Structure 1
Amino acid sequence: MTDLDDTDRSILRLLARDATLGAGALGRRIGLSQPATWRRVRRLQDAGILNGRRLRLNAEALGFGVTVFLGVKLARKGRVSLEDFERAVAAIPEVQTVEHVLGLYDYRLRVVARDLADFERVLRRRIMTLPGAGEVEANVLLSEERRPGPLG
């Protein structure tokens, strides 16, 4: 584990808010030169602490007004492999995340759809036909608040 100082934490907080910031802009905000900031960012990347920079799309602005979290329990009769299920679910474009979890369900999926009728179509035609799909519990997202994470 890499030891993080206050400057590293400041860099991580700033990048968590805006991953497009370059080393020069980061440096100006934390009081370091561009090269010194770049070296720190590079060290955080090499240590695996910074793991890429991602663009977050606004699903609602793209016409996907409904987000549903699905708990999926695999059927035990067919003994389908986890890999078969994961491969099949990853091919469904409306499924944004696939999380293998411990608890009541085997998987937690984040699914986007245009509206509830579209979600029902995705559920019936795509998700319920997956190899090994058993019980499913749906929770419709009403609102979402982004938290800054453990670094505050």
Structure 2
Amino acid sequence: MIELDEKDRGLLLALREDATLNAGTLGRRLGLSQPAAWRRIKRLHENGVISGQRLELDAEKLGFGVTVFLGVKLATKGQVSLEDFERAVTAIPEVQTVEHVLGMYDYRLRVTARDIPDFERVLRRRIMTLPGVGNVDANVLLSEERRPGPL
């Protein structure tokens, strides 16, 4: 585990909001020189605290108006390995996230589709045919509020 000071935390908070900020801008915000900010960012990358950058896309503007969370309980854990299920489900482009969870279900999936008929097609033809799938429970996303905050 890496030791973080207030300047490091400030860099992380600023980069979380806008990962395109350069070291000069970040340094000015935090009272650091550009080289000092750059060295800190480099150290955070090298230590795995920052593990990449993401581009956030607006799914609705791209024609994907429905998001559904699926709880998947595997029926045949002994006959089908978790790796077989994970390999198969991650190959489905509409499945945005695959989370192996503890509780009522074995997996939680985030599925994005153009509309409800498109989701039904994905569910029937792709997800329900995956190896080992037993029970599936669906929750349609009505709205999503992002609540930024520290880890």
Q: Which residue in 2 is equivalent to 1:57?
A: 57
1:149 CA displacement: 2.9
Amino acid corresponding to residue 88 of structure 1 in structure 2: A
The whole-number CA distance in structure 2 between the counterparts of 1:8 and 1:30 is 9
Q: Which residue in 2 is equivalent to 1:97?
A: 97
The CA RMSD measured in Å over matched residues stands at: 1.3
The gaps in structure 2 that reach 5 residues or longer are none
The whole-number CA distance in structure 1 between the counterparts of 2:57 and 2:72 is 25
1:78 CA displacement: 6.4
Q: TM-score, normalised by structure 1?
A: 0.95
Q: Which residue in 2 is equivalent to 1:30?
A: 30
The whole-number CA distance in structure 2 between the counterparts of 1:78 and 1:124 is 24
Percent of pairs identical after alignment? 76
The whole-number CA distance in structure 1 between the counterparts of 2:118 and 2:75 is 25
Q: Which residue in 1 is equivalent to 2:2?
A: 2
Between 1:71-80 and 1:2-11, the stretch displaced more is: 71-80
Amino acid corresponding to residue 55 of structure 1 in structure 2: L
The whole-number CA distance in structure 2 between the counterparts of 1:77 and 1:145 is 35
The whole-number CA distance in structure 1 between the counterparts of 2:90 and 2:8 is 35
Q: Which residue in 2 is equivalent to 1:139?
A: 139
Q: What secondary structure is seen at the aligned counterpart in 2 of 1:147? A: coil
1:78/1:132 contact within 8 Å kept: no
The whole-number CA distance in structure 1 between the counterparts of 2:87 and 2:149 is 30
2:13/2:150 contact within 8 Å kept: no
Segments ≥4 residues shifted beyond 6 Å: none
2:76/2:133 contact within 8 Å kept: no
1:33-71 CA deviation, whole Å, 9 max, x = no partner? 111000000111112111111111111111000001100
1:77 CA displacement: 7.0
The whole-number CA distance in structure 2 between the counterparts of 1:25 and 1:124 is 50
The gaps in structure 1 that reach 5 residues or longer are none
1:70/1:137 contact within 8 Å kept: yes
